[in-house]
A and B are shown apart, each in its own frame.
Chain A
Amino acid sequence: MKFFATLFAPAIGIATGPLVLFGPRVLQSEAPFDPVWGAAGAALTILGAAAAYRAISRHVSQPATTLVTTIERIRGGALDSPVEAGGRSGALAAVFDALNDLRATLQNEARDRAQAQLAEERAVADRQAASDAQSRGYVAAHEFFMKSFTEGLDRLAIGNLTHRLNDPFSIDYEQIRHCYNAALDKLRNAFADIIDNIDGLTSRTGEIAGAADALAQRTEQQAASLEETSAALEQITATVHKTSDGAQRAATVVSEAQADAARSSEIVRNAIEAMGRIETSSRQIGQIIGVIDEIAFQTNLLALNAGVEAARAGEAGRGFAVVASEVRALAQRSAEAAREIKSLISTSSSQVEDGVALVAQTGKSLDRIVNQVVEANKVVVEIANGAREQAVGLAEVNTAVAQMDQFTQQNAAMVEETTAASHGLKSDIERLSASVGAFDLGERARTEAPTVKRSKPQSTITPPQRRAATRGGALPKEQVAQIEEGWEEF
């Protein structure tokens, strides 16, 4: 029915109420009414009427031909003219009716398709228009964003951290603006913190550098002390070696003295025996002298008796008296000589006794000396043992000192590194300060800036310190070298 309504609306006229009302409503809902389509529809209506007329006219003669023609026409897209039975009845009429239904259906579908396409085209156009408007808005917003953002980045590039993007961006870029502002806030705060901390860092770095210098100095002193200790140890070791050698020599001498004393004891014993033999000989000599004395005595008596006899003989005994006198003189001289020999022998005997006593005393003294020498030997052995133990202890001390020297060298190297690191840190902080000083932080930066500048004079003062430090750091090297030489000597 819609199809018909659509087709006949132009033909019947727009005046027809329901159709007119119905048609535009449909058109308005989907697409604006087009007069061209109306004209086409009218033409189709006319063509259909003529064809129907011809069909009806040919109904009788060529219904089949008509049917075929109709089908081909439908297939060719001519759907406007309805297929009518043309007064036919029966099955043919039903075929035509069905064909007509088919045509109507196809016609409706074609019309729907056309309407749908029209609606789609219109929607596309609307979207295009909306899209164009939107694009123009986008472009404007983008340009604004680019301008503002580039300006902000330019400010940031010259180190201005006070700039903010205050004009709102389009909704798409607003987040970027917030992010930029927040990032700059954070950057500014961070730089402010950095500037705040640079002072502390500078002073602490100075303290570290000073401490490293002092440490280097003390390490140097320690190395010197170690060197002195090494020298003293060397002397002590030499002394201990001397003591050990001396004790060894003393032990040798003492043992020799012991042997000598033992030999001397033997000699003293021999001397005592010799003295005894001398005493015996003296005694024997004394006995012999006694015999001689006795003989002299008896001779004297005989001479006296001879003298007596001669005296009695008177003149006759005168010559005999002279002989007797001579004999008596000889006897007296013999007695005298015997007495002298006796006294000499007794003197010799007493001297031999004295000698024996002295030799015995000498023997006792030698025994005492031997005992004392043995004692001295013990003491010397103890001294030698002590010296050996001292040498062992000194070796341990030497090892400890060597370790200490090694540690000191390591410390010196570490101190040097620390000094270098502290001064590197200092220069880093100066550079950091300079880098940070290039940024403008606004009011706060103006108050903080002098601090940064004040830290710079400190950093200009530091180079002498650094030089001193490097000198201090260089000295330990020489010191280490000296110590190494010292150790090689040691």
Chain B
Amino acid sequence: MAETISRVATNEAKEFIAFHIGAQTFCIDIMAVREIRGWTPATPLPHAPSFVRGVINLRGAVLPVIDLATRLGLAQSEPTARHAVIVVQSAGQVAGLLVDAVSNILTLTPDAIQPTPEVASEIARTFVKGVVAAGDEMISVLTIQNLLPEPALDAA
């Protein structure tokens, strides 16, 4: 694990999972991904934030599912069996991210990732780490720990 981190630190190419939400394409660090699975109906939680779809049973563990479209301020879509849930782990927190479809596994070098433009708002910059121009589409690189609900807030 330490080696990996060090490789990351030393401009090594990293792999990302690319997925679609609506017409946009996003990607996240593959190392944060535990697994990818199809959508199964989630059990809503009362008083949960609007972007929390509910919880699902993942091999006996209760997994909160975050509607990433809502979380990113995009139009909410009604999930189907073709929707995918990306199970991520960040800072000891495990959650599922509801996306429209997982499209690819990208291998990117750090210089391919351009910083988020200054014109974007602070909220955007907290979610979007950078933008990759791949072909004719722009792929936003998301910061996972900012997507997940704050444990402190949950505790509070």
Binding site for B on A (CB under 8 A): 294, 297-298, 300-301, 304-305, 307-308, 311-312, 314, 325, 328
- 18 contacts across the A-B interface (CB closer than 8 A): A297-B81, A300-B102, A301-B38, A301-B102, A304-B17, A304-B102, A305-B37, A307-B30, A308-B30, A308-B34, A308-B36, A308-B105, A311-B15, A311-B30, A311-B105, A312-B30, A314-B4, A328-B105
The answer to whether B30 and A305 touch across the interface, beta carbons within 8 angstroms, is: no
Measured in the bound complex, the distance between the Cα atoms of B88 and A308 in whole Å is 11
Measured in the bound complex, the distance between the Cα atoms of B108 and A311 in whole Å is 13
The answer to whether B38 and A297 touch across the interface, beta carbons within 8 angstroms, is: yes
A300 contact set on B, CB distance < 8 A: 102
B102 contact set on A, CB distance < 8 A: 300-301, 304
CB distance from B27 to the nearest CB of A (A): 13
Q: Is the interface of B mostly helix, strand, loop or mixed?
A: strand
The answer to whether B36 and A301 touch across the interface, beta carbons within 8 angstroms, is: yes
The verdict on B150 contacting chain A, using a C-beta distance below 8 Å, is no
The answer to whether B82 and A304 touch across the interface, beta carbons within 8 angstroms, is: no
The answer to whether B31 and A298 touch across the interface, beta carbons within 8 angstroms, is: no
Measured in the bound complex, the distance between the Cα atoms of B36 and A301 in whole Å is 6
The answer to whether A301 and B17 touch across the interface, beta carbons within 8 angstroms, is: no
CB distance from A77 to the nearest CB of B (A): 208
Measured in the bound complex, the distance between the Cα atoms of B81 and A214 in whole Å is 114
The answer to whether A298 and B38 touch across the interface, beta carbons within 8 angstroms, is: yes
The verdict on B141 contacting chain A, using a C-beta distance below 8 Å, is no
Minimum CB distance partner of B33 in chain A: A308
CB distance from B144 to the nearest CB of A (A): 14
Residue of A297, A304, A314, A325 with most partner-chain B CB within 10 A? A304
CB distance from B29 to the nearest CB of A (A): 9
A-B contact count (CB 8 A): 38
Closest 6 CB pairs of A and B: A311-B30, A304-B36, A311-B15, A307-B105, A308-B33, A305-B35
Measured in the bound complex, the distance between the Cα atoms of B40 and A298 in whole Å is 13
The verdict on B139 contacting chain A, using a C-beta distance below 8 Å, is no
* Interface 1/0 per residue, B14-26 and A, CB below 8 Å: 0101000000000
Measured in the bound complex, the distance between the Cα atoms of B35 and A300 in whole Å is 12
The answer to whether A325 and B105 touch across the interface, beta carbons within 8 angstroms, is: yes
CB distance from B108 to the nearest CB of A (A): 12
CB distance from B52 to the nearest CB of A (A): 23
The verdict on B95 contacting chain A, using a C-beta distance below 8 Å, is no
Minimum CB distance partner of A312 in chain B: B31
The verdict on B84 contacting chain A, using a C-beta distance below 8 Å, is yes
B 27-64 contacts with A by CB, 8 A:
30-31, 33-38
Given A308-B35, A314-B4, 14 new contacts (CB under 8 A): A294-B81, A297-B82, A298-B38, A300-B102, A301-B38, A301-B84, A304-B17, A304-B36, A305-B35, A307-B105, A308-B17, A308-B34, A308-B36, A312-B30
A314 contact set on B, CB distance < 8 A: 3-4
The answer to whether B31 and A311 touch across the interface, beta carbons within 8 angstroms, is: yes
- Of B15, B31, B36, the residue contacting A305 (CB under 8 A) is B36
B37 contact set on A, CB distance < 8 A: 301, 305
Measured in the bound complex, the distance between the Cα atoms of B34 and A328 in whole Å is 18
Measured in the bound complex, the distance between the Cα atoms of B151 and A457 in whole Å is 160
Minimum CB distance partner of A294 in chain B: B81
Minimum CB distance partner of B103 in chain A: A332
* Interface 1/0 per residue, B75-86 and A, CB below 8 Å: 000000110100
Measured in the bound complex, the distance between the Cα atoms of B15 and A328 in whole Å is 16
- Of A294, A298, A304, the residue contacting B105 (CB under 8 A) is A304
B81 contact set on A, CB distance < 8 A: 294, 297
B35 contact set on A, CB distance < 8 A: 305, 308
CB distance from B33 to the nearest CB of A (A): 5
A308 contact set on B, CB distance < 8 A: 17, 30, 33-36, 105
Measured in the bound complex, the distance between the Cα atoms of B106 and A325 in whole Å is 11
A328 contact set on B, CB distance < 8 A: 105
B84 contact set on A, CB distance < 8 A: 301
Measured in the bound complex, the distance between the Cα atoms of B80 and A297 in whole Å is 13
A325 contact set on B, CB distance < 8 A: 105
Measured in the bound complex, the distance between the Cα atoms of B35 and A327 in whole Å is 16
Minimum CB distance partner of B32 in chain A: A308
